[in-house]
Amino acid sequence: MADHLAQNSEALFDNIRTLLNQSRKQVVQAVNSAMVQTYWQIGQLIVEDEQQGERRAEYGKAVLKKLSASLTQEFGKGFDTSNLRYMRLFYLAFPNCDAVRHNLSWTHYRTLTRIENEQARQWYLNEAIEQAWSARALERQIGSLYYERLLATQTGKHDLKPVLDEAKQKTQALALCPKDYLRDPYIFDFLGLPSAGLQESELEQALIDNLQKFLLELGKGFAFVERQQRISTDDGDYYIDLVFYNFHLKCFLLIDLKMHKLTHQDVGQMDMYVRMYEEKKRRADDNPTIGLILCTENNHTVAKYTVLNDSEHLFASKYRLELPSEEELRQQLEKERQHLLEQQGSSNA
């Protein structure tokens, strides 16, 4: 009897706890939505007060300071001049109230307003919602030039249509194409590792130790499966560095880490891994396995004269242990564009 009462009491407690947690979550979401909407309206009032919407630096220096003091005295924290400037920028960045998405926090929007490129800003906004990025995750993706690297990856596609289309999509990815889910380069600045004297095993261990950040860098839909996954054959055992699964593509991703420039041996090895995985590991309801070679430097000759060329399942990308500058990315984009033009010239000759 006592045990039965204890079980009932515990079940009742669990049900009430679940209800209260759900209620608190709804309250937080409601408060956040109201805060975002209110800050947008405050920004609108500030801008409209600037001589019918004209932007003037003197305004921010004088009126905002006085306004901050008055609001802080009556309503407390949250209305310093810095935050008021963000509210003003918030309205200027999203002048259409209907474009404001209330499932993002004010911290998200503060971060987004610092992005000058409107297309990039909208892309980050949609990705933050779709991928449920925290404010810190959004900050990291912007800081690692995620959008710019995606542009560089899509160099060979006319007008960068996949990137721009993806920015407009609200509920699903553009296409179930592996190439659209991979990028070049990958940035592993979160590891804090030196590039000199680094061993493949050390890089692999560091990525596993920072798996959450690594998954964020990989992109949407990836889940970790296994490290050093063994595939047994009649001639011996083979080990794949890292195995992931993508729930959008519905396929496995095999990753091979290399501490050198891409070689044809690397391509041959990954081609073998993918073929073995197809035969021994892939399930009937999975899409074809894809293989990604992560190396310190790409090799256009190898990419052109091996099975990498026009392959839908084998890819090679460069990785970096530090964040490239925007100028470095611009140079890379131009280099890739010139290479593409040379390829087109050769095919037309």
* pLDDT tens, per residue, the chain with 349 residues: 556 555 666 776 777 777 777 776 666 666 677 888 888 888 888 888 775 545 555 555 678 888 888 888 888 778 888 888 888 898 998 888 776 777 788 889 999 998 888 888 988 998 888 887 888 888 888 887 888 777 766 554 444 455 445 444 432 333 457 777 787 788 888 888 887 778 888 999 999 999 988 998 888 889 999 999 999 888 889 999 999 999 888 899 999 999 999 999 999 999 999 999 999 999 888 999 999 999 988 888 888 888 887 788 899 988 888 876 667 766 666 666 666 556 555 555 5
- What is the CATH topology of the domain spanning 186-323? Trna Endonuclease; Chain: A, domain 1 (3.40.1350)
Alpha helices in the chain (DSSP H): 2-49, 57-75, 81-93, 106-112, 118-130, 135-143, 146-153, 161-168, 200-209, 211-218, 264-280, 300-305, 326-348
Q: Beta partners for 226?
A: 243
The token pair that represents 51 in the structure block: 């001589």
Query: Could you tell me which residues are beta bridge partners of residue 257?
Result: 294
Distance CA 172, CA 199 (A): 38
Going from N- to C-terminal start, the domains of the chain cover 27-114, 186-323
Q: What was the pLDDT predicted at 45?
A: 87
Per-residue confidence (pLDDT) for residue 323, from 0 to 100: 72
Amino acid of residue 108: H
314 forms bridges with which residues in the sheet?
291
Rounded Cα distance between 41 and 335, Å, is 45
- In this prediction the pTM is 0.59
The pLDDT score that the predictor gives to residue 173 is: 37
In this predicted structure, what is the pLDDT of residue 245?
Answer: 94
Torsion, Cα 142 211 32 124, to 10 degrees, reads 30
Residue recorded with tokens 């073929």 = 275
Please give the pLDDT value at position 270.
Answer: 93
- Residue 342 has what pLDDT? 62
pLDDT of residue 62: 75
DSSP 8-state code for residue 250: T
